[in-house]
Amino acid sequence: MKKKIAIILVVAIVLVSCVALVMCNKKTENEKLTVGVCQLTQHAALDQATQGFVDALKAELGDSVEIEVQNASGDTNVCNTIIGNFVSKNVDLIMANATPALQAAYSATSTIPILGTSITEYGVALGTTLTNGVVGGNVSGTSDLAPLDEQADMILEFMPDVKTVGIVFCSAEANSAYQVAEVKKHLESKGVTVKEFAFSDSNDVSAVVSAACGECEALYIPTDNTAASCAETIGNIVREKKIPVFAGEENTAKGCGVASLTISYYDLGVATGKMAAKILKGEANVSTMRVEYAPATKKYNKEMCDLLGMNVPEGYEEMN
């Protein structure tokens, strides 16, 4: 009899503990929703995506949501720390801005909803396969991928007789490698020789770009966060060498390029914020949400085109 009573008491204590835990984790009506934003580094494209996200989420939920934005300053280890802090706080949603931030979030939690933005290809970033555009699990988001074959054709539109193109990218960024392979394949199918020039971090950028300028008639830079943060440095080199650069996104092209097939990163962030609002309001489940894409626009950098004496093909609009 005593044993039965002891067992009943233990079960009761466990049940009370579980109920207490649930009550602690459950938000009251007046308690704010919390969203953690981890941005890989500070450069114009990612800044715009974060701002668009914050603006859209605040427009949808107002003061009922608290958004904490953290910047990892380009350090993937700091991404892990930031995400770990969000998980320990049990935030209601994590927004990961750029691939390393998404990878950190994906590794840290399988229960908190995660939305990525400024991600080129989710399957490559996470080592998984999408089904009908759905990542599945606790991940979805938006992609900054503009059609890569059209990006390659952009180079040929400006330079129909080009023979050698160098692709400059950061070897540490998985999505950059994916873009390089696709653009290289398309250019080579058109008879263009393509050379790859990879740098491991921002310290190598100057030397790698200088080497590329010495071997190629033109350069292509994909949507690469390290390259974007070093656009001014790259611009100083290519201006001196008189080598045209074609970029996967507008902000990099503003710093060093002649043209870009680009998207609006602010609008991409807005789309991500609207997805977040649906999840937080219980109107959608992250596990069934398709990755969303933004339309791409052909733009040219007048200052660089004038400097290099390049004629702008039809269908391009001037960058602001």
One pLDDT digit (tens) per residue for the chain, 320 residues: 444 444 444 444 434 333 333 333 345 456 899 999 999 999 999 999 999 999 999 999 999 999 999 999 999 999 999 999 999 999 999 999 999 999 999 999 999 999 999 999 999 999 999 999 999 999 999 999 989 999 999 999 999 999 999 999 999 888 899 999 999 999 999 999 999 999 998 999 999 999 999 999 999 999 999 999 999 999 999 999 999 999 999 999 999 999 999 999 999 999 999 999 999 999 999 999 999 998 999 999 999 999 999 999 999 999 98
For the chain, the structural domain boundaries read 33-144+264-289, 148-262+298-318
| Fold for the domain defined by 33-144+264-289 | Rossmann fold (3.40.50)
Q: Position of tokens 């998207």?
A: 263
Helix H, strand E, coil C: the string for 300-320 is ECHHHHHHHCCCCCCCCEECC
Those residues whose C-beta lies under 8 Å from the C-beta of residue 80, and which sit 6 or more positions away, are 104, 107, 108
Same fold yes or no, 33-144+264-289 and 148-262+298-318: yes
Q: Which residues contact 172 (CB under 8 A, 6 or more apart)?
A: 76, 200, 201, 226
C-alpha 226, offset from chain centre: 12
Taking each helix axis from N to C end, the angle separating 265-280 and 44-61, rounded to the nearest 10 degrees, works out to 40
Class of 148-262+298-318 in CATH? alpha beta
Answer whether 108's CB lies under 8 Å from 83's CB: yes
